[in-house]
Amino acid sequence: MLSSVEKHEADVAEAAQRLARRIRELRQQHGWSLAELADVSGVSRSMLSQIERNEASPTFNVAYRIAKAFGMSLGELVQAPDEPAGIEVIRADDESYHFRKDDTCSVRTLFPLRLEKDVEFYEVKLRPGHALRSEPHLEGTREFLTVHKGRIQIQSGGHSAVLGPGDSGHYRADVPHAIENVGRGDAVAFLVAVYRR
């Protein structure tokens, strides 16, 4: 039978393995290389590699940067998947859920990314004449877009379509793709990315 100290050490080791696995899975779901996650998070590629291999434990600051890169709070990054959380609310003004935010584009996750490993749900806001352009995601990935406000042109591979309020479209996201505001005012859309395993 394990002593309390041994049990504590075993729990810590299990949590470290779980965190390493989660960071690797989240990076792969985003279709990012280690170098790309390093660029987004500000954490060095070598440190990220060591963390994913469970050869190093991230400091609070490093874990916080990684969580922000994935649009998550630190608590969501480290929480055990089967740990009951009750009701979780994402407030509109919670900056930790903003995947991207600048003068031309805002992308905000609408639910914690840890809940589903194969689905992500975002609110996308685009200023007139601007676009959210993406490199190919993992093979088999599709995106589903519903326009709430404005006019948005979807581009996927060599295909394109223009959507207005209430229109929806889905398209391959494992090829270069883009969402462009082709209207005169701001555009708002809801985007669901589905990753095939």
- How distant, in Å, are the alpha carbons of 11, 63, 99, 143 from that of 165? 50, 39, 23, 18
What CATH class is the domain 95-194? Answer: mainly beta
DSSP code at position 81: T
For 4-78, CATH number? 1.10.260.40
60-74, 105-119, 162-176: least confident range: 105-119
Q: What is the pLDDT of residues 164-192, one digit of tens each?
A: 999 999 999 999 999 999 999 999 999 99
User: Would you list the domain boundaries of the chain?
Assistant: 4-78, 95-194
Q: Which pairs from 91-98 meet CB under 8 Å and 24+ separation? A: 96/67, 96/68, 96/71, 96/72, 97/71, 97/72, 97/73, 98/71
Write down the pTM of the prediction: 0.55
Nearest to 72 by CA among 98, 51, 93: 98
Q: What is the pLDDT of residues 2-59, one digit of tens each?
A: 555 566 566 667 778 888 888 988 888 888 899 999 998 999 999 999 999 988 888 8
